[in-house]
Chain A
Amino acid sequence: MNAAVAIDRASVGWLGLLIGAVAALPWYAVGAFGESALVLGFADRPWLLPVVGLALALAGLAARTRDWRRHPALLPLVTAAQAIFLLQAFAIGLNGPALPLVGQIFPTAQAGQTGMGAGAFLAGVALLGLLSDGLAARGFCRGERFASACVIVIVALLALFVFFPILKLGAAAFTDENGALAFGPCIERVTVRNLWGLACFTSRLSCGVVINTIQLGLLSATLATALGLALALLVARTDFRFKRVLRALSILPIITPPFVVGVAIIVLFGRSGVLTQFGAELFDVRPGRWVYGLPGILMAQVLAFTPVTFLVLLGTLEAINPTLEEASKTLGARPLRTFSTVTWPLLRPGIAATFLLAFIESLADFGNPIVLGGGYDVLSTRIFFAVVGARYDLGNAATLAMILLALTLIAFRAQTRWLGRANYVTVTGKSDAGLVAPVPPMLKLVAVAVVLPFAAFVVAVYASVLLGGFVTDIGRLDMTPTFDHIRTAFSFELEAEGLRLYGSARDSMMTTLWVSALSAPLTMAIGILTAWLVARQDFAGRRAFEFGTMLSFAIPGTVVGISCVAAFNVPPVDMTGTMIILVISVVFRNMPVGMRAGIAALAQIDRSMEEASQTMGAGGAQTLGRVVLPPIRPAIFTALVYSFVTAMTAVSAVIFLVSARHNMATAHIMGRVENGEYALAIAYSAVLMIVMAICVALIQLVVGKRQLGRRTALTAAAQPAE
């Protein structure tokens, strides 16, 4: 059959790539050896020969057997080649053998080896391709080659860029200053008093950093959830007049660079802040530094997380079947009783999950604590200070990161448990008849009372940001309009002395745009493919795959950043200081954006359309390209722009990965904040926000119009056809 020939061609392609990669392409990235594994193996690097040998064995298999994809020897050969490939890469490091005995077996290994080059990289890719083909031939992914390849590639990417760094970081936690395995320092680091101290509850001393982190997380999650609930109730269940404004509010955190809220709070409430001065005059008290520390971080976090909790709780509320509430009413219950006996119990699991979500966000937050922390240390900032500056102590950073990771995973586990039990409020996709029950009037009153001050606060914060960038010094209440800050940040036409500084602001902007532009399509592609695999494919280990991706989202950005430092500054994959690592870290940080978009979009496509395409002979890639993606193009475009925008505000992971050559906007802003150049920071942030707001407005314009167009097409279609 034609199809059978086509398969063989694809597999033969992988095989050809493998042979080419080991025989012709340079195996190493740098160094004096620009030669292939074959050449180097016969020269003085015999540990490369097994991979070459196995590649030739695979070629022999393909030459001798017609249906070699199904030959029982294929998978063992491929996995053996992969194992040896990885073993040689990790057994011999930059400075020689990394494992015992290797030095005795291969004396020449003492010279060490550098990172992988094109040959090694492509050989790895080809082996993955052969593995996925071989597995598909055995019925993996219902025999679908493309899906099988996607699973293998995404697993490999997650393994390499998420889980391998975490393992490496874990290992770093158990080493001493010289890099040798040791449990002593780790135990010492874990048990020091400044991690677990409870002094703040009994005296004016500060607590340990772990206690601080948990305290902040609990407070911030409680407040954000309460506010989110109030907002959601107002929007979903009342006739509150400013619903649209409240909904629009949910876009704000997406386009808010991480330090902006912190800086705005300083500008408003700091010692010389606008509101502080005003209050001091009014009540005749001395302006204090109360905002630095827990109160300030709390304010910033609640502001940042409330839109998220609002959206999640709004979804939960809208998913509650109104007929249940109507049933309660017909049975004679008053509104308050209906709310407390029907609505509230149905909401509770959603509230718990939202609380944990906000808690996890608070644990991971880096931007607010670093700006507003003062003496109040949390884990994410402590990790940062452990590796930045003169005291480079990876072991300590790794230990702290492991504690943060453990806290996060406990919360994540609790959240998935809650959600697992909360199945009865999931959306069915069917529109439920019935009118939603308005909340009891008293509750509405409470909600309005809570929401109004919050809204005022949000307006104050964003007004000061937008204003602050264009007045002389909002910090000192000098409100003379000026474009100086913008000029300072983005102009390089000033005097020669300042050129470098101004240039660097511009450079970081360019890098940010580049990184965002490169990572957005990748985020989208990987996210949609992952969503497609999880939602539509059926393969052994799908549950584990799903859990693995979810887990990778839960890892705090700070931990991702520090783990990338631990993993990728040495061979076999050395790429710290490059733009690639920035792009990769942003892609994997933002994967949830792409995946959520993918899952939402796929829900619009009847699964049997894909199956119809398959029965007509289309493979997975053709089906995706011709059937699945075209109808959901607007959704893809939207998610693309959102991942672009999200990439622009990434901070917690990239802050560890930026370099002098590749600095990012957020890191640059942080530098300005550290120097107290608030006006400059605000101006830069305002520009970022304007760029992002334009992007978002663009989507509304393009996609909004298109959806309108589709709707008119549908009404036209609704005319009788016969």
Chain B
Amino acid sequence: MKDTTQGTDLAIEFVGVVKRFGDAVAVDGIDLSIRRGELVTFLGPSGCGKTTSLRLIAGLDLPSAGHLRIAGRDVSRDPASERNVGMVFQSYALFPHVSVLDNVAYGPVIRGVKKAEARAKARGILDQIGLGGLHDRLPAELSGGQQQRVAVARAIAQQPDVILFDEPLSNVDAKLRRKVRSEIRALQQEFGLTAVYVTHDQEEALAVSDRIVVMDKGRIAQVGTPEDLYERPASAFIANFIGDANLIEGRVAAGRFTAAGLDVPLPGADGPASVSIRPERIALDATADGPARVAGATYLGSRMENAVALGGTELLVSRPISEPRLETGQTVALRIDTGGVTRLS
């Protein structure tokens, strides 16, 4: 029905999508394209519209305005049951009254595959995913990690156009998260799935994504690769939300940025400017007598965090644990990695 010549490479397209709940605007005009085989993460603080956007893709909510295309087809008015989107829920949402095997076979059976055939298929996926011996268990008889893998297997079994993950790690033990997220990433690549992943954890987003969509108040704040977002944040919001950042107001003149006690090279137009400098891009030199003074130290095990007072502002500096400790009150010189200074819009 739809023009597919341009759509072949695109799995999902948001075109001016708006979602209102009563008077509240949850999603406020989103334009976004997601390519086939890509893992895109929606990241943002709670209430930013990331989960609503995910539900719009699933069809669990319908947009109030705008269009949504999946695999080139306009699905803006199609209910969830008429799309082909797999979803892994935060709570896993496994059916408690049927076996693991029948949970995974549910999608194919609903779509008209014969029961025996659907079960054979489900068996294959469960084996592939490493849950071979658990076919006949009930979900309640599995550990949390196993339940989650069943939920993923179930979403894969319907051969979806897109697979969605709604904060899949929030019910996983903190220790296991790293393992589970790399499993998810591996499965997504193994099955060549287009995936959309929602999380509020920036580290998780950086770890799994091809691209990250940072959302704020229902709008897209920035889209880019993890490196783009971390190294070149477009705004103070992004700089603050992803990792830690020192935000400094100053002026740019003749290719140099100057602020109280700071003077670093920064190309760009002259005028007032604000910049972001990551804590690990600043080094402290205790041997030189500099303009800054150590205001505090926090031992974090893997690194040391120092608060440094500089001309009325306070900077956060992250230092390797191997460097010598600094005394509070000590004066130090700053060495700023010039590549790590990002001008914010």
Task: Give the B-binding residues of A (Cβ under 8 A).
Answer: 1-4, 7, 70, 136-139, 142-145, 538, 606, 608-609, 611-620, 622, 626-627, 630-631, 714, 717, 719-722
Whether the pair B77, A70 counts as a contact (CB closer than 8 A) is: yes
Whether the pair B82, A721 counts as a contact (CB closer than 8 A) is: no
Whether the pair A143, B143 counts as a contact (CB closer than 8 A) is: no
Whether the pair A717, B141 counts as a contact (CB closer than 8 A) is: yes
Tell me which residues across on chain A come within 8 A of B143, comparing CB atoms.
Answer: 720-722
29 sample A-B contacts, Cβ–Cβ < 8 Å, listed by A number: A1-B82, A3-B81, A4-B82, A136-B79, A137-B77, A139-B62, A142-B61, A142-B62, A142-B79, A143-B77, A144-B79, A608-B91, A612-B89, A612-B93, A614-B79, A614-B81, A615-B58, A615-B59, A615-B85, A616-B86, A616-B107, A617-B111, A617-B158, A618-B110, A622-B110, A717-B138, A717-B140, A721-B141, A722-B146
For residue B106, CB closer than 8 A to chain A, the reply is yes
Extra pairs beyond A615-B60, A615-B85 (9, CB < 8 Å): A7-B82, A144-B81, A145-B79, A611-B87, A611-B93, A612-B89, A615-B155, A615-B164, A721-B134
Bound form: Cα–Cα A189–B253 in Å: 91
Which of B78, B80, B106 sits near A611, CB closer than 8 Å? B80
For residue B258, CB closer than 8 A to chain A, the reply is no
> In residues 227-285 of chain B, which contact A (Cβ within 8 Å)?
none
Whether the pair B138, A615 counts as a contact (CB closer than 8 A) is: no
- The contact size tier of chain B is 35 or more
With A612-B93, A617-B107 as given contacts, are A138 and B77 in contact (CB-CB < 8 Å)? Answer: yes
Whether the pair A617, B141 counts as a contact (CB closer than 8 A) is: no
Bound form: Cα–Cα A145–B59 in Å: 13
Distance in Å: Cβ of B140 to nearest Cβ of chain A? 4
Q: Mark B151-187, 1 if CB is under 8 A from A, else 0.
A: 0001100100000100000000000000000000000
For residue B142, CB closer than 8 A to chain A, the reply is yes
Tell me which residues across on chain B come within 8 A of A619, comparing CB atoms.
Answer: 79, 81
Distance in Å: Cβ of A180 to nearest Cβ of chain B? 46
Which of A145, A611, A617, A631 sits near B96, CB closer than 8 Å? A631
Tell me which residues across on chain A come within 8 A of B62, comparing CB atoms.
Answer: 139, 142-143
With A611-B89, A627-B95, A721-B143 as given contacts, are A142 and B107 in contact (CB-CB < 8 Å)? Answer: no
Tell me which residues across on chain A come within 8 A of B188, comparing CB atoms.
Answer: none
Distance in Å: Cβ of A42 to nearest Cβ of chain B? 40
Distance in Å: Cβ of A401 to nearest Cβ of chain B? 37
Whether the pair A143, B79 counts as a contact (CB closer than 8 A) is: yes
Whether the pair A538, B61 counts as a contact (CB closer than 8 A) is: yes
Whether the pair B91, A617 counts as a contact (CB closer than 8 A) is: no
For residue B137, CB closer than 8 A to chain A, the reply is yes
Distance in Å: Cβ of B180 to nearest Cβ of chain A? 15
| Of listed B93, B111, B154, residue having the most chain A CB within 10 A | B93
Bound form: Cα–Cα A165–B80 in Å: 39
Distance in Å: Cβ of A330 to nearest Cβ of chain B? 32
| Of listed A137, A609, A616, A719, residue having the most chain B CB within 10 A | A616
| Of listed B80, B87, B97, B155, residue having the most chain A CB within 10 A | B80
Whether the pair B93, A143 counts as a contact (CB closer than 8 A) is: no
- Name the CB-closest residue of B to A616: B107
- Name the CB-closest residue of B to A69: B77
Tell me which residues across on chain A come within 8 A of B111, comparing CB atoms.
Answer: 2, 616-617
Whether the pair B60, A614 counts as a contact (CB closer than 8 A) is: yes
Whether the pair B137, A721 counts as a contact (CB closer than 8 A) is: yes
Tell me which residues across on chain B come within 8 A of A717, comparing CB atoms.
Answer: 138, 140-141
Bound form: Cα–Cα A545–B154 in Å: 35
With A631-B96, A717-B141 as given contacts, are A142 and B158 in contact (CB-CB < 8 Å)? Answer: no
Tell me which residues across on chain B come within 8 A of A606, comparing CB atoms.
Answer: 91, 93
- Name the CB-closest residue of B to A543: B22
Whether the pair B95, A609 counts as a contact (CB closer than 8 A) is: yes
Whether the pair A142, B110 counts as a contact (CB closer than 8 A) is: no
Tell me which residues across on chain A come within 8 A of B86, comparing CB atoms.
Answer: 615-616
Tell me which residues across on chain A come within 8 A of B80, comparing CB atoms.
Answer: 142, 144, 611, 614-615
Tell me which residues across on chain B come within 8 A of A612, comparing CB atoms.
Answer: 87, 89, 93-95, 154
Whether the pair A143, B106 counts as a contact (CB closer than 8 A) is: no
Whether the pair B97, A631 counts as a contact (CB closer than 8 A) is: yes
For residue B90, CB closer than 8 A to chain A, the reply is yes
Which of A137, A138, A608, A626 sits near B89, CB closer than 8 Å? A608
Bound form: Cα–Cα A92–B137 in Å: 64
For residue B112, CB closer than 8 A to chain A, the reply is yes
Bound form: Cα–Cα A145–B112 in Å: 19
For residue B84, CB closer than 8 A to chain A, the reply is yes
Q: Would you list the 6 A-B pairs with minimal beta carbon distance, nearest first?
A: A143-B79, A616-B107, A614-B80, A608-B93, A612-B93, A3-B82
Q: Mark B104-122, 1 if CB is under 8 A from A, else 0.
A: 0011001110000000000
Distance in Å: Cβ of A709 to nearest Cβ of chain B? 13
With A616-B158, A619-B81 as given contacts, are A611 and B141 in contact (CB-CB < 8 Å)? Answer: no
Tell me which residues across on chain A come within 8 A of B87, comparing CB atoms.
Answer: 611-612, 615
| Of listed A4, A611, A617, residue having the most chain B CB within 10 A | A617
Bound form: Cα–Cα A611–B89 in Å: 9
Tell me which residues across on chain B come within 8 A of A622, comparing CB atoms.
Answer: 110
- Name the CB-closest residue of A to B134: A721
With A142-B60, A722-B143 as given contacts, are A613 and B106 in contact (CB-CB < 8 Å)? Answer: yes
Whether the pair B97, A630 counts as a contact (CB closer than 8 A) is: yes
Distance in Å: Cβ of A636 to nearest Cβ of chain B? 14
Whether the pair B59, A614 counts as a contact (CB closer than 8 A) is: yes
Distance in Å: Cβ of B175 to nearest Cβ of chain A? 16
| Of listed A606, A615, A622, A714, residue having the most chain B CB within 10 A | A615
Tell me which residues across on chain B come within 8 A of A1, comparing CB atoms.
Answer: 82
With A136-B79, A143-B79, A721-B137 as given contacts, are A617 and B142 in contact (CB-CB < 8 Å)? Answer: no
